């Protein structure tokens, strides 16, 4: 059945897995009966890796690392995906909410400063349950919802009161570009609505002045792309006008032409220094002072190898 027809049928809000509306595709598939959307997700989340990650922004990684859980699958089809080995495959192991809660507690036991859920959107139902179980089991560190930003209000409402920090991408300011390079419709409006909901829940990122670690709030990520395809000026202008230039923003320069990027110019090259410096200068002109900036050479170490014992090298 064409996905548009599935999405048009009535969807009871009390059964999000029976009629999925967790991402901006709103495909409406019945995951309880084994049907899957483009994300390939079933009723249980699939975990590819979990580890102490020291390559996130300093308020998240700190000294001991961010307790990162990488989920399999994704509703986006980014031609330049640096996590394609897990986002575009069925790799990993299915876990119950109880097992996922156990992983969260294990990461805390390793000394990680937080629990960092990477690509959680399409697994939101089980994740919300797992967070509750982990909290009852003694989880006390912040929970980070690390997302591509193509989330629906329904998905985010399920996280209210459970998620402490939203680490959200603003991938594009143009729907045409999002469709061309990530295969999604309506990304800009869905993304901006998601950021508004996140801000309404927790406000901008707050950092503990004693240790420099994030405790609560929103941190926006913008991955700078060759040719300015991400639309950084439009995204920053939106953030300033809708919120303020006090909102913490991470401008990422780690883009590398991986996966299918070589067939999609200008994504077949790395970011140029002039592009990077122009983006930073524009952010400063708008008054953004709470900026996290990557070295331009970050593309050399930003691509993980999920077949290795330590996927990241820093």
As a whole number, mean pLDDT of residues 191-200 equals 98
Count Cβ atoms within 10 A of the Cβ of residue 162 and give its class: 0-12 exposed, 13-18 middle, 19 or more buried. Answer: middle
pLDDT tens digits, 255-308: 999 999 999 999 999 999 999 999 999 999 999 999 999 988 776 556 777 666
pLDDT tens digits, 30-41: 888 888 888 888
Handedness of CA 200, 204, 205, 208 (dihedral sign): negative
pLDDT tens digits, 230-264: 999 999 999 999 999 999 999 999 999 999 999 99
Report residue 2's pLDDT band, with 50, 70 and 90 as the boundaries. very low
Residue 84 has pLDDT above 70, yes or no: yes
Rounded distance between C-alpha atoms, residue 97 and residue 123, angstroms: 10
Residues 6 or more apart whose Cβ sits within 8 Å of residue 193: 153
Rounded distance between C-alpha atoms, residue 155 and residue 41, angstroms: 15
Rounded distance between C-alpha atoms, residue 39 and residue 54, angstroms: 27
Taking the domains of the chain in order of start, what are their residue ranges?
44-300
CA geometry: angle 189, 195, 198, nearest 5 deg: 140
Residue among 148, 146, 149, 143 at smallest CA distance from 161 = 143
Reading the block at residue 307, the tokens are 């077949």
Residue 314 has pLDDT above 80, yes or no: no
Half-sphere exposure of 307 (CA within 13 A, CB side): 2
Report residue 144's pLDDT band, with 50, 70 and 90 as the boundaries. very high
Rounded distance between C-alpha atoms, residue 170 and residue 239, angstroms: 10
Length of the chain: 314
Min mean pLDDT across 7-21, 36-50, 118-132 is at 7-21
pLDDT score recorded for residue 142: 98
Rounded distance between C-alpha atoms, residue 170 and residue 161, angstroms: 23
Q: What are phi and psi of 174, to 5 degrees?
A: -130, 125
Question: 0.85 exceeded by the pTM?
Answer: yes
Reading the block at residue 238, the tokens are 């939106």
As a whole number, mean pLDDT of residues 90-104 equals 94
Domain 44-300 in CATH 3.20.20.70? The answer is yes
Mean pLDDT for the chain? 92
Residue 13 has pLDDT above 70, yes or no: no
Q: CB–CB of 98/54 below 8 Å? A: no
Q: What are phi and psi of 107, to 5 degrees?
A: -65, -40
Reading the block at residue 14, the tokens are 């009390």
pLDDT score recorded for residue 304: 75
Residue among 261, 259, 311 at smallest CA distance from 118 = 311
Reading the block at residue 190, the tokens are 């869905």
3-class state of residue 288 by DSSP = coil
């Amino acid at each position: 059945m064409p996905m548009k027809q599935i999405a048009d049928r009535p969807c009871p809000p009390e059964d999000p897995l029976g009629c999925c509306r967790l991402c901006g595709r709103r495909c409406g598939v019945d995951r309880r009966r084994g049907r899957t959307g483009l994300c390939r997700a079933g009723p249980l989340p699939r975990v590819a890796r979990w580890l102490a990650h020291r390559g996130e922004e300093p308020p998240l990684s700190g000294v001991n690392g961010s307790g990162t859980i990488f989920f399999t699958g994704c509703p986006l089809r980014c031609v330049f995906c640096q996590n394609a080995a897990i986002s575009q495959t069925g790799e990993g192991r299915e876990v119950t909410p109880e097992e996922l809660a156990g992983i969260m507690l294990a990461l805390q036991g390793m000394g990680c400063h937080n629990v960092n859920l990477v690509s959680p959107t399409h697994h939101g139902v089980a994740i919300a349950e797992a967070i509750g179980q982990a909290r009852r089991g003694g989880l006390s560190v912040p929970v980070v919802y690390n997302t591509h930003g193509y989330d629906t209000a329904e998905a985010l409402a399920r996280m209210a009161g459970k998620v402490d920090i939203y680490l959200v991408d603003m991938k594009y300011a143009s729907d045409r570009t999002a469709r061309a390079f990530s295969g999604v419709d309506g990304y800009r409006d869905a993304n901006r609505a998601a950021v508004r909901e996140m801000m309404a829940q927790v406000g901008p990122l707050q950092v503990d002045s004693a240790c420099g670690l994030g405790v609560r709030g929103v941190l926006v990520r913008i991955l700078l792309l060759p040719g300015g395809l991400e639309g950084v000026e439009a995204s920053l202008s939106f953030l300033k006008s809708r919120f303020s230039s006090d909102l913490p923003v991470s401008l990422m320069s780690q883009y590398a032409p991986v996966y299918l990027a070589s067939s999609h110019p200008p994504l077949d090259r790395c970011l140029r220094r002039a592009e990077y410096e122009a983006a930073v200068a524009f952010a400063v002109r708008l008054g953004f002072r709470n900026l996290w900036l990557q070295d331009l050479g970050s593309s050399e170490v930003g691509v993980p190898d999920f077949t290795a014992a330590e996927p990241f090298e820093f």
